[in-house]
Amino acid sequence: MPAVKKHRIVDSITRESIISNLANSTRLDERGLLDYRNLEIETNILKDKTNGSAKVRLGESEVWAGIKVETATPFPDTPAEGVMTCNAEMLPISSQYIEPGPPNEDTIELSRVSDRGIRESGMIDVKELCIKEGKQVYSVYIDVAIINEDGNLFDAVSYAATTALLMADMNKFTIEDDEVKMLDEKQPLPIKSVPVSTTFAKIGDKIIIDPNADEQEIATARLTLVTDENGKYVSAQKGKPGGFTFDELKEISVISKEKGDEIRVKIREAVKNGS
């Protein structure tokens, strides 16, 4: 699309439609307030150059995640721990509102929230990423490319990264005569937990799940909440300059666990079909 300003503008007609539909507990795409859009997960989309990969379509939002496992020297204060980094890239191909160049605050927030969702859940046990203490550890890189943006990239990125990690493998190493040697044999990553992200938006006094781009734009507040398979809450981020009440937070936390469990089933299914 042509002449463009820096951010999305939802026109007044659409805005009013969204709000009046919400009053009847429906949404423009005929979903219920707590329904996710269609979720498609495809594994091994980048099998030739990555250790693991996945493509996720959540409604029209599309992201591709790729895992690269390399080796590195450990940080001095954690000599027996491996390293993990997660980086989400908002690409200019994905939207007319994304300019090429250094990441802006939204991109950085997306990246850091995705990173914490995986890190804080202990999904990857970094203690099991040690090859030779003080000398060599595994370094797991999770990079996610945003291909098409239509709201709720937080969840799309989370599902793609999680699936890719579950699909990933890495070379085994052995130590012979104090020398580290890489073997051809592969092993899966040390996965201890499967975190699932859920994102909510507040429009007026209604709470909806999985907002699309228009809904996200007119929402006053957004909440991403990540749970693991043991029902533990591991990561959260409120975004947008509005707020939630205590009751709303409690309600959201219940729904987050339910929906998280449903989506975890889909992720596990995709991994099972892909292996």
Residue 70 vs 185, nearer CB to other proteins = 70
Backbone angles phi, psi at 100, to 5 degrees: -65, 155
Min separation Cβ 10 and other proteins, Å? 6
Find the binder of other proteins among 5, 178, 231, 254 (CB under 8 A): 5
Stretch that binds other proteins, among 12-20, 128-136, 195-203, 224-232 (CB under 8 A): 12-20
Find the binder of other proteins among 92, 204, 242, 243 (CB under 8 A): 92
Site for other proteins in 114-153 (CB under 8 A): 141, 143, 145, 147-150
112 part of the interface to other proteins, by CB under 8 A: no
Find the binder of other proteins among 27, 31, 53, 137 (CB under 8 A): 53
Min separation Cβ 173 and other proteins, Å? 17
Binding residues with other proteins: total (CB under 8 A): 42
User: For residue 163, what are the contacts with CB-CB under 8 A and spacing of at least 6?
Assistant: 41, 43, 54, 56, 65, 267, 270, 271
233 part of the interface to other proteins, by CB under 8 A: no
Record the tokens describing residue 41, joined without a space: 């997960």
Min separation Cβ 105 and other proteins, Å? 16
Site for other proteins in 63-82 (CB under 8 A): 64, 66-68, 70
Find the binder of other proteins among 93, 175, 180, 182 (CB under 8 A): 93
Find the binder of other proteins among 42, 44, 80, 87 (CB under 8 A): 87
* Residues near other proteins (CB under 8 A): 1-5, 9-15, 17, 45-46, 48-50, 53, 60, 62, 64, 66-68, 70, 87, 89, 91-96, 100, 141, 143, 145, 147-150
